[in-house]
Structure 1
Amino acid sequence: MLKDNKLRMLSFLVFALVAGVSSVSHAKTLKVCYDQWPPMTIFPTKEAPERGVVIDMVEQIYSSKGYALEYFEVPLARGLDMVAEGLCDMLPEYLYSKNSEKGFVYAGEASFSYATAFVVRKSDSWRYQGIQSLSGKRIATGPGWDYSSISAGYQHYIDDPANSDFVEVIAGYDDVVDRIIQMIKEDRVDLYADNDLVLQYVLNQLDLNDDLRIVRPGLEKKLVEMPIFSKKIPTEKRQELINIWNQGRLAMRGEKERALLSKYKVSL
């Protein structure tokens, strides 16, 4: 009898182990590509493990539905390629455009619609009052950065060869905005336009609120950023992932959204 009980217990343990392994092998995994755009999306380090407002949001929404998330921290262009190739299931923030590439599908709900703003030196009384107010100002931007969805006039101004002496293109991997902000402080350029939350975060992180100031309002339209999902995912599965995002993002409006922003010391 004792031997029978031991055999039963051994059989139960083997069954439980096999079931557990089977469960793990069939766990739902969401592969997420994203680029560095603090505080919305951040490449974590051992000293600073946080991934940013939008990644926290993605984590909460999909983990509540039983998904384990696998992250790929890559430049934006590489992330877009990986989504198109099916190496990533989604990229949480990409500029919305009706004429975008065809390797992905947009979600229905934006991650955020961002107001833009400018940053200038504290001593500079400049305010944005249309394209004419840019005359004579040294403007910083990054290589290939596209502002046309928020201001066609601003994009035309920085692209115009006649203004090339007043447009400084700052290249780099993941610290371009930080370097631009330092250049404004050092009087090497005069102004820079970006997402208001990004500017708040960078000035806080660099402890430059006494030297620089954020100028509002910024450019004419809001910057609408949307999650994108790979077309390599079977249609039914992709729609399920999109529905989870859409419903989850709607549910996070209000207090939950404010709490996430507050964690990174920024506010809408």
Structure 2
Amino acid sequence: MSRNKLYCHVAVSLFFSAASQSQAEPLKICYDQWAPMTMFPSEASPARGVVIDMVDEIYTSKGYQTEYFEVPLARGLDMVAEGLCDMLPEYLFSKNSENDFVYATEPTFAYTTAFVVRRDDSWRYSGIESVEGRRVATGPGWDYSSMSVEYQNYLDDPKHSSFVEVIAGDDDVVDRALRMIRDHRVDTYVDNDLVLQYALNRLGLEEDLRIVRPGLEKKLVERPIFSKKIPAAKRQKLIRIWNEGRLALKGIQEKSLLDKYDVRFEE
């Protein structure tokens, strides 16, 4: 191929590539920080997390051009409700929550939970009675009732207020809770098992703290939500693509995504 023909071939290829991208349907996605499931990229690390990797793979393969908005959860919910975002990839599933959005059928994951304690602490969770007298950390307004009504009632009961440390803030509650356990300011914290694995490794606290299982009685089920402001046909199509795509990612592909962030579901 001559040089002129090569230039012409490259120019035509770039034209059709640009045209293809311009014709891709945009998909606006709001999400909050919950590493390693959903993560805000930085110069040091461009990773967006397990769930965002799933979303990107599922929708770009169907011709969508994804656009991400990194926001606190409350703002993300508002943006979905207002139609500023088409979807938010993970939200606690509740039959009473479907007001300004619609849930997909397929969950992102059904997460097992676990507790963190200091390495020399022999405590295990064996029902709400085992929490009595222990200093526990939580976030502002966090709701554990889908996993354990008894645990949520314990946190809400005013007589336990001196044993419940509510950590303010949007992005670093997990990190601060773990450091507070290490520093003997609280005794335990419960969260998604994968989140705890990732945080302990990232913070280098594995020699000071350890994860103890079992966690709360039920799993934490999270599903993508889609805005009611977008046309019904478009919303139904987006939900169908997610449901089919998430099922297709089970097994080896799902494990590969988890391995990328060095986390795994414990048997």
Aligned counterparts of 1:99 and 1:173: Cα–Cα separation in 2: 24
Indicate which of 45, 64, 73 corresponds to 2:61. 64
The reply on whether 1:189 has 2:183 as its aligned counterpart is no
Counterpart of 1:249 in structure 2 is 246
Aligned counterparts of 1:102 and 1:207: Cα–Cα separation in 2: 41
Q: How does 1:20-59 map to 2 (within 5 A)?
A: 24-59=21-56
The residue type equivalent to 2:79 in the other structure is: M
Q: How does 1:59-138 map to 2 (within 5 A)?
A: 59-138=56-135
Aligned residues: 255
The residue type equivalent to 1:255 in the other structure is: I
- What TM-score, normalized by structure 1, do the two folds share? 0.92
Cα 1:162–1:84 change in 2 (3 A) is same
Indicate which of 198, 203, 212 corresponds to 2:200. 203
- What TM-score, normalized by structure 2, do the two folds share? 0.92
Aligned counterparts of 1:98 and 1:241: Cα–Cα separation in 2: 20
> Offset at 1:24?
4.6
Gaps of 5+ in 2: 1-10
Counterpart of 2:234 in structure 1 is 237
Indicate which of 223, 226, 233 corresponds to 1:226. 223
> Offset at 1:172?
1.2
Aligned counterparts of 1:20 and 1:202: Cα–Cα separation in 2: 40
1:65-102 Cα distance to aligned partner (Å, 9 max, x none): 11110000000010000001110000000000000041
1:140-198 Cα distance to aligned partner (Å, 9 max, x none): 00000000010000000011000000000000131111011000000000000000000
The reply on whether 1:139 has 2:139 as its aligned counterpart is no
1:12-43 Cα distance to aligned partner (Å, 9 max, x none): x99x96x8876554321110000000000001
Aligned counterparts of 2:54 and 2:127: Cα–Cα separation in 1: 35
State the SS of the aligned residue for 2:27: strand
> Offset at 1:105?
0.4
Give % identity. Answer: 69
The higher radius of gyration belongs to 1
Aligned counterparts of 1:83 and 1:171: Cα–Cα separation in 2: 24
The root-mean-square deviation of aligned C-alpha atoms, in Å, is 1.7
Gaps of 5+ in 1: 1-12
